[in-house]
């Protein structure tokens, strides 16, 4: 019964995400505010019967991951941009994580296709008992075969209930990794390709956070905010935009968040860019490992 329940809820989350992926060409266009895109996508998740599993990521050109709009963000999608849209939805904690690349510059069409094919080829080898290294080898082989580089320090990851990174990783470069896929496990497979050097670095900016220690607030307000975060998001990632219903009198939410990060109560996720500012593409889907191969929750 439990097995049937988590499969059903994961597939429901997949249906929500898949519908949104099909809507993206209408939503993501040059000149549109990143803030409007993030909020539109997150609202569509809720309207579809799910909840966002993390803030919508809109990563442009050399930015690989972890950029979401902050309150008052004025940034827009530039002309000729390569835009990664990373979406997560959950139903009762069962998560589907998926991403696509929308390129407004034909110069990068080949890299987009390299990334898409890397994901498709990775899915072909997934079955119970397969070594993660075999999946990583397919991703690396495909991307290099197109003349690009996989990003070595970004990985796919196992998903568990209310846990975005569940303990096993799916690297995008080959290695002798210890992980083996087992029937019933759920994974987000997400190749990244670049015309840079194949690595990302952290920027100073961080707009996404998650709860690290529930009971570590030092003031009444900090304790109340940490409880609000746990009650609404558990330990899933969130952003400042999602805290607008939390009342603050004298301080800003941002100031309290910064203090909680410094105190170790919250974990922050800095924006990631390609180390030599290469253009980055990304494709991702969530799969359930079954004896008949992967159950793929979103279209690629």
Catalytic residues: 86, 97, 157, 165, 190, 284
Q: Is the dihedral of CA 230, 236, 52, 183 positive or negative?
A: negative
- For 80-89, letters b (16+ CB in 10 Å) and e give ebbbbbbbbb
| Spatial distance between the Cα atoms of 223 and 217, rounded to a whole number of angstroms | 4
Note the Cα 66 to chain centre separation in Å: 8
Task: Give the neighbor-by-neighbor strand order of the sheet with 293-296.
Answer: 169-171, 155-159, 186-189, 285-290, 293-296
With beta carbons less than 8 A apart as the criterion, state whether 58 and 34 touch: yes
Looking at the DSSP bridge assignments, the partners of residue 96 are 89
| Spatial distance between the Cα atoms of 103 and 219, rounded to a whole number of angstroms | 46
| Spatial distance between the Cα atoms of 4 and 110, rounded to a whole number of angstroms | 40
- Return left, alpha or beta for 134; rule: phi > 0 is left, psi -120 to 50 is alpha, else beta: alpha
The Cβ of residue 176 has, within 10 Å, a number of other Cβ atoms equal to: 7
Torsion (CA) 14, 46, 20, 281 in degrees, nearest 10: -80
Q: Which helix (H) or strand (E) holds 96?
A: strand 94-103
Task: Supply the DSSP symbol for 148.
Answer: -
């Amino acid at each position: 019964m439990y097995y049937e329940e988590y499969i059903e809820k994961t597939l429901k989350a997949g249906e929500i995400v898949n519908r949104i992926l099909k809507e993206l060409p209408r939503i993501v266009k040059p000149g549109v505010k990143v803030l409007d895109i993030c909020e539109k996508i997150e609202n569509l998740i809720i309207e579809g019967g799910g909840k966002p599993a993390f803030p919508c990521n809109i990563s442009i050109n050399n930015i690989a991951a972890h950029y979401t709009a902050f309150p008052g963000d004025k940034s827009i999608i530039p002309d000729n941009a390569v835009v990664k849209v990373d979406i997560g939805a959950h139903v009762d904690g069962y998560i589907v994580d998926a991403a696509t690349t929308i390129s407004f510059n034909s110069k990068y069409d080949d890299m987009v296709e390299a990334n898409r094919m890397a994901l498709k080829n990775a899915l072909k080898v997934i079955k119970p008992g397969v070594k993660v290294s075999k999946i990583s080898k397919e991703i690396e082989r495909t991307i290099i075969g197109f003349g690009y580089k996989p990003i070595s320090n970004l990985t796919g990851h196992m998903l568990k209930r209310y846990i975005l990174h569940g303990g096993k990783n799916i690297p995008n470069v080959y290695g002798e990794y210890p992980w083996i896929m087992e029937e019933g496990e759920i994974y987000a497979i997400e190749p990244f390709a670049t015309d840079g050097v194949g690595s990302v670095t952290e920027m100073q900016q961080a707009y996404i956070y998650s709860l690290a220690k529930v009971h570590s607030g030092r003031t009444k307000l900090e304790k109340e905010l940490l409880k609000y975060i746990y009650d609404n998001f558990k330990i899933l990632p969130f952003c400042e935009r999602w805290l607008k219903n939390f009342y603050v009198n004298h301080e800003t939410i941002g100031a309290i968040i910064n203090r909680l990060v410094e105190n170790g109560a919250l974990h922050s996720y800095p924006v990631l860019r390609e180390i030599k500012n290469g253009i980055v593409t990304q494709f991702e889907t969530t799969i359930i490992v079954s004896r008949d191969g992967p159950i793929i929750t979103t279209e690629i």
